[in-house]
C-alpha cells in the first residue's frame, strides 16, 4: 500500500485503507454515492469507474447488488486513483470537504434482524430479567438467537429519537400503565449490510459470508426496557425496540476489515452448518459517549457468535436475503463493567447509577441526552481505521 496523494490527517477514521461508502448531497444537488478519505468525500459519480451509473443515485443498493467481484474491482480502482499521483489532476476536483455536505441513510433497508450474540450481555440480561434462573437459556450456545425487527424505523445518525410511549408495569402495581418510557436505553451493536441477494428456498453457507455481505455499520438499537420487560414473553422484542434504530452513515467495506478477523472459541462445538470455514469475528473496539463523556469501550472481538454464523443461521430455513438487508450483532458487552454496551448493564437496572462529570447521574436516558457510538479497528499494516459514528439525541415523548 502506497500513501495517498490526498491529505489524510493523523488518526483520521478514514485512511486510504478504509474507503467507506456513503450517500451525500450538497445544497441544490441530488444525493449521490461517495467514499470518505481524510476530511473529504470523493464524489464517485464524477469518476471513471466501473458501474459508474450506480453512483449517481441516492442509495448504495444498486452497487451492492452487483456482488463481491464488482465491489473488489471498484475498491481496487479507487485505491489506484487515490495513491498514484498521475490521477491527481483528474480526481482532486471531486474531493469535497465533508464540512460542506449532508450525509444520508446510505442504503435502503430491506429486512432488519437483530441478534443476541454477546455472552457477557446475555448473561447480564439473564441475571437482571430472570434472577434465580440460569442466565443463558438452554438454546443459547447452540444457535445465534435473534428476532426480526422493523426496517422502516432504521434511521441515519443524527436523527432525533422521540421518547417512545407504551405499556409497562410500575413497581409492584397489579395492572399496567401506559405512558412515556421511563427506562429508555441504548444498545451498542455492529451491523452487517447484505449486498448479494439469495433465492428463497436456498441456504447461504457460512463460507459464503464475504460473497453476500458488503460492509459494516455502527448500530444503536434504542430500547425501552420497561416496555420490553412487560411485552417480551413469549414472543420476544416488539414495541420496546421498533420505534428507532440509528445507523452510522459510512459503510466500511468487509475487504477493509480482513486483518481484524478473529475466531472465537466456542464450546460446545456448534452443529456442522454453523461450523464450516473460518469465523468472521472482528476485533473492533467500540466507544460509547453519553453527553460527550466516555462511559464504555465494548470489545466486539469478545462476542461469541460471529456474523458468518448469523448469516448461515438466518438462511438455514430457506429464508431469502435481499439487497439492503441489515442484521445487527446484538448488544456488545465485554467482561468488565466499563465494557458493557447498554445502560441496563452499566447501571445494573438503575441500582448503580452512572455519575457524569456535570455532577448529575443517570440510570436511564433523560430528554436532551445525546448518545454517540464510535469504533475502530486495525488494518494489515497497523493503520487505525474508524467507522465514523452514530449519534442521537432524545426528545420528549409526543403528547
Ligand atoms: Mn439489540
Which residue ranges make up each domain of the chain?
21-104, 112-395
Q: How far is the CA of 327 from the centre of ligand 1 (A)?
A: 10
**Residue-wise pLDDT tens digits, 70-123:** 999 999 999 999 999 999 999 999 999 999 999 999 999 999 999 999 999 999
pLDDT for res 268: 97
Please spell the DSSP secondary structure of 362-379, one letter per residue.
Answer: ESSPPTT-EEEEEEEEE-
- Among candidate residues 103, 386, 390, the one with its CA nearest the CA of residue 219: 390
Task: Please compute the mean of the pLDDT values over residues 138-150 and round it to a whole number.
Answer: 97
Distance in angstroms between the alpha carbons of the first and the last residue of the chain: 56
Q: How far is the CA of 191 from the centre of ligand 1 (A)?
A: 10
Tell me the CA distances in angstroms from 96 to 28, 53, 183, 217, 264, one per residue in order: 15, 20, 41, 22, 40
Q: Identify residues whose C-beta is under 5 A from ligand 1, the ion.
A: 114, 187, 221
Task: Please compute the mean of the pLDDT values over residues 332-336 and round it to a whole number.
Answer: 98
Mean pLDDT of the chain: 97
Catalytic residue flag (residue 121): yes
The b-or-e profile of 10-37 (16+ CB within 10 A means b, else e) is: eebbbbbbbbbbbbbeeeeeebbbbbbb
Q: Where are the alpha helices (DSSP H) in the chain?
A: 61-64, 68-83, 88-91, 119-129, 209-212, 225-231, 307-315, 343-346
pLDDT for res 193: 99
Spatial distance between the Cα atoms of 306 and 273, rounded to a whole number of angstroms = 13
Of the candidate ranges 22-31, 44-53, 127-136, 192-201, the one whose mean pLDDT is the lowest = 127-136
Q: In a 3-state reduction of DSSP, which class is residue 165?
A: strand
pLDDT for res 44: 98
- Under 8 Å CB-to-CB from 365, ≥6 apart: which residues? 184, 185, 186, 343, 371, 394
**Residue-wise pLDDT tens digits, 359-382:** 999 999 999 999 999 999 999 999
Q: What is the C-alpha R_g of the chain?
A: 21
Q: How far is the CA of 358 from the centre of ligand 1 (A)?
A: 29
- Under 8 Å CB-to-CB from 363, ≥6 apart: which residues? 183, 343, 347, 349, 350, 353, 354
**Residue-wise pLDDT tens digits, 259-301:** 999 999 999 999 999 999 999 999 999 999 999 999 999 999 9
pLDDT for res 1: 56
From 120, 121, 212, 313, active-site residue: 121
Q: How far is the CA of 165 from the centre of ligand 1 (A)?
A: 18
Q: Are 335 and 148 in contact (CB under 8 A)?
A: no
Q: How far is the CA of 237 from the centre of ligand 1 (A)?
A: 9
Would you state the cell numbers that stand for residue 89, as one nine-digit string?
489532476
Task: Please compute the mean of the pLDDT values over residues 132-147 and round it to a whole number.
Answer: 96
**Residue-wise pLDDT tens digits, 214-251:** 999 999 999 999 999 999 989 999 999 999 999 999 99
pLDDT for res 171: 87
Task: Give the CATH number of domain 112-395; options: 3.30.830.10, 3.40.190.170, 3.90.850.10, 3.30.1490.150.
Answer: 3.90.850.10
Task: Please compute the mean of the pLDDT values over residues 292-316 and round it to a whole number.
Answer: 98
CA 122 to chain centroid: 18
CA 303 to chain centroid: 14
The rounded percent of the chain whose pLDDT value lies above 70 is 99
pLDDT for res 272: 98
Q: How far is the CA of 116 from the centre of ligand 1 (A)?
A: 7
pLDDT for res 129: 83
- Among candidate residues 1, 79, 3, the one with its CA nearest the CA of residue 42: 79
21-104: CATH superfamily:
Fumarylacetoacetase, N-terminal domain (2.30.30.230)
Amino acid at each position: 500500500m502506497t500513501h495517498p496523494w490526498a491529505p489524510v490527517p493523523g488518526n483520521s477514521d478514514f485512511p486510504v485503507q478504509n474507503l467507506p461508502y456513503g450517500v451525500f448531497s450538497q445544497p441544490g444537488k441530488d444525493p449521490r454515492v461517495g467514499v470518505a478519505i481524510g476530511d473529504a468525500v470523493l464524489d464517485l459519480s464524477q469518476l471513471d469507474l466501473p458501474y459508474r451509473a450506480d453512483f449517481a443515485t441516492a442509495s448504495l443498493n444498486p452497487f451492492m447488488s452487483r456482488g463481491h467481484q464488482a465491489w473488489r474491482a471498484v475498491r481496487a480502482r479507487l485505491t489506484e486513483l487515490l495513491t498514484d499521483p498521475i490521477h491527481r489532476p483528474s480526481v482532486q476536483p471531486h474531493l469535497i470537504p465533508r464540512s460542506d455536505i449532508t450525509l444520508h441513510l446510505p442504503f435502503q433497508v430491506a429486512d432488519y434482524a437483530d441478534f443476541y450474540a454477546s455472552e457477557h450481555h446475555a448473561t447480564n440480561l439473564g441475571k437482571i430479567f430472570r434472577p434465580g434462573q440460569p442466565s443463558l437459556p438452554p438454546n443459547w450456545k447452540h444457535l445465534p438467537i435473534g428476532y426480526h425487527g422493523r426496517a422502516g424505523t432504521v434511521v441515519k445518525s443524527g436523527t432525533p429519537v422521540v421518547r417512545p410511549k407504551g405499556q409497562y408495569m410500575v413497581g409492584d402495581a397489579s395492572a399496567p400503565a401506559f405512558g412515556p418510557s421511563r427506562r429508555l436505553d441504548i444498545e451498542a451493536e455492529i451491523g452487517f449490510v447484505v449486498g448479494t441477494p439469495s433465492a428463497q428456498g436456498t441456504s447461504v453457507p457460512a463460507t459464503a459470508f464475504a460473497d453476500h455481505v458488503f460492509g459494516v455499520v455502527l448500530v444503536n438499537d434504542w430500547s425501552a426496557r420497561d416496555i420490553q420487560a412487560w411485552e417480551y414473553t413469549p414472543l420476544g422484542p416488539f414495541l420496546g425496540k421498533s420505534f428507532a434504530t440509528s445507523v452510522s452513515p459510512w459503510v466500511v467495506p468487509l475487504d477493509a476489515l480482513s486483518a481484524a478477523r478473529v475466531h472465537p472459541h466456542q464450546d460446545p462445538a456448534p452443529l456442522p452448518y454453523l461450523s464450516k470455514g473460518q469465523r468472521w469475528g472482528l476485533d473492533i473496539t467500540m466507544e460509547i459517549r453519553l453527553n460527550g463523556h466516555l462511559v464504555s469501550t465494548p470489545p466486539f472481538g469478545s462476542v461469541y457468535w460471529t456474523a458468518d454464523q448469523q448469516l448461515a443461521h438466518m438462511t438455514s430455513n430457506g429464508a431469502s436475503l435481499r439487497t439492503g438487508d441489515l442484521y445487527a450483532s446484538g448488544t456488545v458487552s465485554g467482561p468488565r463493567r466499563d465494557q458493557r454496551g447498554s445502560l441496563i448493564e452499566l447501571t445494573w437496572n438503575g441500582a448503580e447509577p452512572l455519575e457524569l462529570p456535570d455532577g448529575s447521574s443517570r440510570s436511564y436516558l433523560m430528554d436532551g441526552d445525546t448518545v454517540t457510538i464510535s469504533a475502530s479497528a486495525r488494518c494489515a499494516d497497523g493503520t487505525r481505521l474508524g467507522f465514523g459514528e452514530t449519534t442521537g439525541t432524545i426528545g420528549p415523548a409526543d403528547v
